[in-house]
Structure 1
Amino acid sequence: MAGEKGRTEPRLWTKPLRPLTRESTLGYEVIDFAEQILGIRLYPWQRWLLIHALELLDDNTTYRFRRVIVLVGRQNGKTLIVQVLCAWWLFVDSCRYPDRVPPLRFKIVGTAQNLDIAREPWNAVKLWCDPEPPSLEEADAAIPTLQNATLKVSDTNGDEYIRARSLARYEIRAAKNIRGKPNARVVMDELREQTKWDAWNAVAPTTKSFWNGQLWGVSNAGDARSVVLTKQRDAALAFLDDWEHKVEAGLIGAAEYAAAHDCSLGLFEWSASDGCAKDDIDAILQSNPSIGYGAQTVEAVLADIDAMTDAAYRTEDLCQWVTAQVEGYIDVDEWERTIVSPLQIRIPHGARTVWGIDVSVDRSHTWIAAAVLDDQGRPVVNLRERRKGLMWVPEYMKRLAEESGMWEVAIQSKGCPAMEFIEPLKQMGFTVHEVDGSHIGLATGRLRDRVREGRLVHTAQTLVDQAIEGGVTKVIAENEAWDRRRSIVDISGVAAITVALYGLETCEPPEPEGSAYQDHDLITF
C-alpha cells in the first residue's frame, strides 16, 4: 500500500459549463495566493476543488455557483480549504469590484452547529493577520503582508471578527444566532450536523440578496438526521443525473442547457461507492484524497475499522451515507454474514410457518414477516409484505393463510398499534401468539442471539437491512427491546421478523386439522 495516492477527482461532481482556464475560474488565483502569500502548497484534490468550485460565467466576473457542497472523508484537509478561502475572500476578493460591492459591505460569515468548529478556520486566519499578536509564538506565525492589511481583530466571546483595512469583515457566529443581513460569503462547516432548518433558512437567503454571493457547505457524509445536507445533495444529484442524460449524452449543448436550467448548485463529493467492503483500498483512496500527500495513510484508515462503529467508519472515513449515526443493537457485519441468495434456501414441503405483524409507530404502514425452518433446521426469516395503513391486513392475512395453510400469527400484545389485529384475526380462525411486554425483550434478544450464532438465514432486503443499521433498543423488564421512537428509521419490519421468529421457536403450534401441513406448499422467497 506504500506509494498509493488518493484520488484527485471526486466520485460525484458537477461538470463545468466550459473549459476551466485562468480566465474562466478564480481557483488558480486562490492557489497562487496560498503559495505566494500563505506559503501553503495545497494538495492536488484541494487545487482541483478550487479550480472547479470557483468557476465563472461567460462574463468572467460572476460566480457560476451560488451554493457549493463539498463532501470528503475526515482528516483530509477540508478545514485548510476553508482557511485559505476565507483569507483570500477577506484580503483579495473583497476589493475586486468596489463599484458593485464596496468592501465595507463585504462580510464573510463562518458558522456551524458548534461554534468551536467555525472558530477553527477563523483562528488560523487570525494567526496569519493579527497586527498585535498576543504571544511570541503567534508573532512567529504571522504573515506581515496580511498584518499590514488588517485593521482590527476582536477575540471577544460572541463578537469574534477580523476587520481588514479595506473594511471588509470576517466573523463567526453560532448557527442559531445568524439572522438575515446580506452576506457576501458564508461557510457552513460540518453541514451534516444541521438537523433542523432554522440556521439554513436564516443564512442561505443572505447570499442570494448579495451580488455574486456564495455559500459553501463543507462536511463529511451525513445520516438520516442530516436534513439540510440531504436536501442539498439530493438536488445536486438530480441535476447531475439530468446533465448526464441530456448534455453528456449529446442531446443538447452545455450553453443551451445552461440557458434553460439553474446551474448554480455545485456538488463535489469524494466518497466510496455504496456497498463497498470497508477494507476496499480503491474505495479508501477515493474518499481520502489526501493519502500519499500528507499524514493520512491507507493504514490509518484501515485501523479505524476495528476502532469505530460501522456507521461512524463509513460516514467519517469512507464518506458514505448511512442510515443513522447510532450503535445498532445488532452488529451490521454479523447481520450481513447471515445473508444468503434465495436460491440457496431450501424449505421442506409444508414446513410450519409463523407470520409476524407490526405497525409503524405513526400508523402509516403495516409490515408482515415470515419465519420458517429450512431443511437444516435453521430459522429463515423475511419481510413478506409492507403496505400503507392498517385496514387491509385482516383480509390479506386470510387469503395468505388459505393459500399456504399456515394460520399462526405472532403479535406484540401491549404498547403498539399492531395489538388491534389480535381479536379480528382470532375471529377468523388464526392462532395468535401474543408476545406481551415482558417477553418482547426476550424476543429481541433471541433475534440477536441467532445472528451472533450465524444460524439465522435471510435474504438481502433494503428496508430490513437499513432498520438493522439504525435500530436501537430500550430496557423492558431488564431486557432490551426494540425502541421504535428512538430509532432513526422505521424498524417495524424488523419488529415483525422478531415476533415471527419468537413465535416459531417458543410457541406451541396448534393441532393440524386435516392435512394442512402436508397439502400446501409455502413459498416465502
Structure 2
Amino acid sequence: MTLVEAEAPEATYDLAGIAPWPPTRYTRPLTPDFHSWYERYRDTFRKAWWSANGYCLERWQDQLLHAITEVDAFGILRYREVLISVGRQNGKTEIVAALGLLFMVAKRSPTVISVASSREQAQLVYKRALDVATRSATLAPHFARMTNTRGLTTITGGEWELKAAKSAALQGIPIDLGGVDEVHLVKSVLWTDMVNGLGDRDDCMVVGITTAGDDDSELLLRLYERDDAPVTRFGRFVWEAPEARVPKDDNELARWLAMANPGIASGRRKVANAVSAVRGMPQDQAIRYRLNRFVSGSDNAYIAVPDWNRLTVPADAIEIVRPILTIDRTPDWTFATIIATGKTDDDKIAVEVAMSIPNPSVEALYDECVDMFGKVSPETFVVDGYTLGALAKRLKENGYPVRTMSFGDEVSAASMFYSKVVRGHIVHAAPGLAQQFQNVARKATHGDQYKLVRGSGPQSIEAALATVRGVYAAETSDDGGSLIY
C-alpha cells in the first residue's frame, strides 16, 4: 500500500532569507565573539525551563539574552539601558522572566524590580519566573523564599519586587535590574527614576520590552531615537516590518510579519494564521501590534468611509429572502433602526436599512417586529441584550425567534465585520451609513480584541452597530435554519 501525503489545507508562504535573529535593527556587539553573563548560565536555564514548562527558550531568545548581557573586556556589563521592541505574542514574558532570574542568581544580593502599566501585567512576568524557580531542581536551591504574594528572595539576600508604574514608588530604591513592560504606556519620569536607582554601580541595568507606540508614546519615541554608540551604554533591539502599512499581497505581508515577529520566523507560530488575523484587523492596529511599527493619530479608527462606499450597489440589486432583522436604538431613545441582512448566492452578505423609527418605545418596536414578521418572515430578530433586553424578552414570550448579543458576540462581530468590509464580502444599498461609521470607535478589551463604542463626534451609531450585529448573525446562522437563541 502506498501512503500519499495530503496537502496542507492552509496557504504556504515564502519566508526564505528571514531569520528570527538578528532583529531588523539592533546594536552591534563590541566584538563578534563577545562574552556575556548569560552564556555562563545557559545550560542551567535550559534545564530549568524544561523542568518547569516542558520546553526550552527559543534559540532567538537565547541569543537576545546573550546580547543584552554582553560584557566588555573587563567583564563588566556593557549596557546600563536596553530597549527591546517586538510584535505581540512572541514570548516577551519569557525574556523578562529569564533576565530577572539571571540577575537573581548571578549577583550576590540584587534588587530586581518589575514595573508595568498595571500590577496585573507585572505579575505575569513575576509568576512565570516564580514557576520556573520553584519547579527547577537547578534553580530552587538559590532561593530562600518563593511566594506568590511576598516576593522572591535568594539565600544571599537578593529580592524580586513588583512596583506600581508610579515615580514615587521607585524613588530612593537601589536597583540592580529594572524591568519595564509595555514601554509605550509608561511615563518618561518613571524610566528616569529607575535609571537613577542604578546609581554609579557597575553591572546594573534597566530593560524595557514593548510593542510599537503612537504619537503619545513620548518615552518610547525618545528611546527609539537615542544614540546607541558604545559610549552611551544603551542597547536597542527592534524587530519591525520595513514600512508602516499593511501590504495588499499576502506573501509580502507574511514576510513582513516574519520580520516583526521572531516567533513566526522561527516556525513556532503559523504564518498563515497570522496573515488571516491581520486581514481581520483595523490597519492601524495591525501595523502597530503585528508589524511593530509606530502609528500616528488615534488608535481607535474603525471603518474608513471609502472602504464602506465601494461596497455600494443599487437598491434593486439587493434581494434578501428570509432576512435577519437587527434592531438598535440611540441611548436617548430619539431613534431606532432596523437593519436587514442575509447571504447572497455568491456567499456575500447583503445589507439594507429596513426601517428608521423616531422616538421609539419598547411597545412601538414590538409592534413593528410583529408587523414585519408577517410581511417578510424573518429568520430571526437580533438585539443587544443590554439596551433592548425588554424587547427581546417580550418577543420570546410571544414565540418569535430572537437572538440577544452577548459580550463575546460583540467582540467577535467587531473583528468579523471589519474583515468582511476590507475583503469586499459585503454588498449594501446604504451609503448613508458611512456617516455613522465615522463616529464608531474601538475600545480594547483584551489583547488584540475590541468592542465598538461611540466616538467623540455628534453622529449617532445605532444603525452602524445594528449593521455589524446583523452581518455577524447572518454569517453565524445555520444554513436555511434559525439561530440558536
TM-score range normalised by the length of the shorter chain: 0.5 to 0.7
Kindly tell me: are residues 38 and 306 of structure 1, through their superposed partners in 2, closer, same or farther at Cα, counting changes over 3 Å?
Answer: closer
The partner residue of 1:16 within 4, 8, 29 is 29
Kindly tell me: are residues 167 and 175 of structure 1, through their superposed partners in 2, closer, same or farther at Cα, counting changes over 3 Å?
Answer: same
Contact 2:130 2:152 in 1 (8 A): yes
Contact 2:133 2:140 in 1 (8 A): yes
Paired position in structure 2 for 1:186: 178
Kindly tell me: are residues 477 and 202 of structure 1, through their superposed partners in 2, closer, same or farther at Cα, counting changes over 3 Å?
Answer: same
Q: Deviations over 1:347-397 (max 9, x none)?
A: xxxxxxxxxxxxxxxxxxxxxxxxxxxxxxxxxxxxxxxxxxxxxxxxxxx
Alignment: residue pair count: 302
Paired position in structure 1 for 2:70: 55
Kindly provide the amino acid, as one letter, of the partner of residue 270 in structure 2: T
Kindly tell me: are residues 147 and 45 of structure 1, through their superposed partners in 2, closer, same or farther at Cα, counting changes over 3 Å?
Answer: closer
Unpaired segments of 5 or more residues in structure 1? 96-102, 131-141, 244-257, 338-444, 453-471, 481-525
Kindly provide the amino acid, as one letter, of the partner of residue 289 in structure 2: E
Q: Deviations over 1:252-286 (max 9, x none)?
A: xxxxxx5xxx2311110011012453442221110
The partner residue of 1:204 within 183, 191, 195 is 195
How far did 1:121 drift?
1.6
Q: Find the aligned partners of 1:212 and 1:114 in 2 and give their Cα distance.
A: 27
How far did 1:332 drift?
8.9
Paired position in structure 1 for 2:239: 270
Matched, 1:125 2:129: yes
Larger Rg: 1
Matched, 1:65 2:55: no
How far did 1:6 drift?
4.9
How far did 1:54 drift?
1.5
Q: Find the aligned partners of 2:458 and 2:200 in 1 and give their Cα distance.
A: 54
Q: Find the aligned partners of 2:184 and 2:60 in 1 and give their Cα distance.
A: 21
How far did 1:193 drift?
1.1
Kindly tell me: are residues 325 and 50 of structure 1, through their superposed partners in 2, closer, same or farther at Cα, counting changes over 3 Å?
Answer: farther
Contact 1:276 1:283 in 2 (8 A): no
Paired position in structure 2 for 1:116: 120
Paired position in structure 1 for 2:358: none
Q: Find the aligned partners of 1:479 and 1:79 in 2 and give their Cα distance.
A: 38
Kindly tell me: are residues 325 and 88 of structure 1, through their superposed partners in 2, closer, same or farther at Cα, counting changes over 3 Å?
Answer: farther
Paired position in structure 1 for 2:255: 282
Contact 2:24 2:259 in 1 (8 A): yes
Q: Find the aligned partners of 1:81 and 1:329 in 2 and give their Cα distance.
A: 33
Write out aligned runs for 1:93-104 (5 A). 93-95=106-108, 103=109
Q: Deviations over 1:220-241 (max 9, x none)?
A: 1111121111111111xxx36x
Q: Deviations over 1:294-316 (max 9, x none)?
A: 64221221122243222211111
Kindly tell me: are residues 144 and 36 of structure 1, through their superposed partners in 2, closer, same or farther at Cα, counting changes over 3 Å?
Answer: closer
Q: Find the aligned partners of 2:271 and 2:122 in 1 and give their Cα distance.
A: 28
TM-score of the superposition, structure 2-length normalised? 0.56
The partner residue of 1:81 within 82, 95, 105 is 95
Q: Find the aligned partners of 2:270 and 2:459 in 1 and give their Cα distance.
A: 47
Larger CA deviation: 305-314 vs 274-283: 274-283
* 2:84 partner SS: strand
Matched, 1:228 2:219: yes
* 2:262 partner SS: coil
Paired position in structure 2 for 1:139: none
Kindly tell me: are residues 58 and 29 of structure 1, through their superposed partners in 2, closer, same or farther at Cα, counting changes over 3 Å?
Answer: same
Contact 2:112 2:161 in 1 (8 A): yes
Paired position in structure 2 for 1:523: none
Write out aligned runs for 1:117-196 (5 A). 117-130=121-134, 142-156=135-149, 160-176=150-166, 177-194=169-186, 196=187
Kindly provide the amino acid, as one letter, of the partner of residue 36 in structure 2: T
Write out aligned runs for 1:433-472 (5 A). none
Paired position in structure 1 for 2:301: 328
Paired position in structure 2 for 1:38: 49
* 1:83 partner SS: helix
* 1:73 partner SS: coil
Kindly tell me: are residues 332 and 226 of structure 1, through their superposed partners in 2, closer, same or farther at Cα, counting changes over 3 Å?
Answer: farther
How far did 1:477 drift?
7.2
Write out aligned runs for 1:262-411 (5 A). 262-278=231-247, 279=250, 280-291=253-264, 293=266, 295-324=268-297, 326-328=299-301, 331=304, 334=307
Kindly tell me: are residues 147 and 53 of structure 1, through their superposed partners in 2, closer, same or farther at Cα, counting changes over 3 Å?
Answer: closer
* 1:216 partner SS: strand
Matched, 1:475 2:479: no
